[in-house]
């Protein structure tokens, strides 16, 4: 039996993992809120793709690191699609450098978007989910939040914080049939990874037991499963999808 159609909001959905998740969840019959910050044309193209296939989609611009913009995004999505039942916190940024060279604004901005953005979006949707006694919060993190990575102290810290955020919030809302989980990708073929130098790619590949980078749709498949009724008993989990990188 197919899942009940739900309203989904995916942050950072115009490209990469977010875009793949939007396609997957739209194909499952859900109404999709497509958040973007700067890639508006790509967000609109995705909306047209979903609606042309018979689905329902809505685009909304917001910087998730700004709580006022998050509120406006949530309000606009609810007005267009109805109460948000599945929140996918996918938007994130990197600003890598060695710790001794890192400037305050590099650390603060990565934490603001990645960690505070997850907090702002989750806070905005959690009360209605609890009242409705159904909800999914799915946080897209990273394996570096589990094991750290040289040159990514800020990014690793931001993702590690989301993991413990996930565990704690899951305990608070589990009795109301709301689940809070995270998907932790490894290296995935997105614009960010494709821009890496070949020497860096070779070094990373040597640590991936699957001997390849992941595909956005493989991460999206995990997100779609956690969003489904089949995953109702999975809560407070950080699911690695990394080809064995973090073993």
Token pair belonging to 139: 């946080």
By annotation, the residues acting in catalysis are: 155
Nearest Cα neighbor of 190 from 10, 18, 9 is: 18
Which helix (H) or strand (E) is 178 found in, with range? Answer: strand 178-185
Is the four-CA dihedral 211, 217, 221, 223 of positive or negative sign? positive
Return d(Cα 178, Cα 226) in angstroms, integer: 12
- Please count the other Cβ atoms lying within 10 Å of the Cβ belonging to residue 226: 24
Q: Taking every pair of C-alpha atoms in the chain, what is the biggest distance, in angstroms? A: 54
Question: In sequence order, which residues have a C-beta less than 8 Å from that of residue 163 and are 6 or more positions away?
Answer: 141, 145, 146, 182, 184, 238
């Amino acid at each position: 039996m197919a899942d009940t159609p739900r309203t989904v909001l995916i942050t950072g959905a115009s490209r990469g993992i977010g875009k793949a998740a939007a396609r997957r969840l739209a194909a499952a019959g859900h109404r999709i809120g497509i958040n973007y910050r700067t890639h508006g044309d790509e967000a609109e193209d995705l909306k047209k793709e979903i609606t042309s296939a018979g689905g329902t989609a809505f685009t909304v611009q917001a910087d998730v690191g700004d709580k006022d913009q998050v509120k406006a995004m949530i309000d606009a999505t609810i007005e267009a699609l109805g109460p948000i039942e599945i929140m996918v916190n996918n938007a994130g940024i990197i600003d890598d450098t060695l710790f001794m060279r890192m400037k305050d604004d590099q650390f603060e901005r990565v934490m603001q978007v990645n960690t505070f953005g997850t907090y702002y979006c989750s806070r905005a949707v959690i009360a209605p989910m609890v009242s409705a006694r159904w909800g999914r919060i799915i946080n897209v993190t990273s394996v570096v939040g589990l094991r750290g990575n040289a040159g990514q102290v800020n990014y690793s810290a931001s993702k590690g914080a989301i993991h413990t955020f996930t565990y704690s919030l899951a305990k608070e809302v589990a009795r109301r049939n709301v689940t809070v989980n995270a998907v932790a990708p490894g290296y995935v073929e997105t614009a960010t990874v494709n821009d890496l130098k070949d020497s860096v790619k070779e070094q990373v590949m040597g640590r991936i037991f699957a001997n390849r980078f992941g595909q956005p749709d493989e991460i999206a498949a995990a997100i779609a499963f956690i969003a489904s009724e089949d995953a109702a008993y999975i809560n407070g989990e950080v699911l690695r999808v990394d080809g064995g990188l973090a073993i």
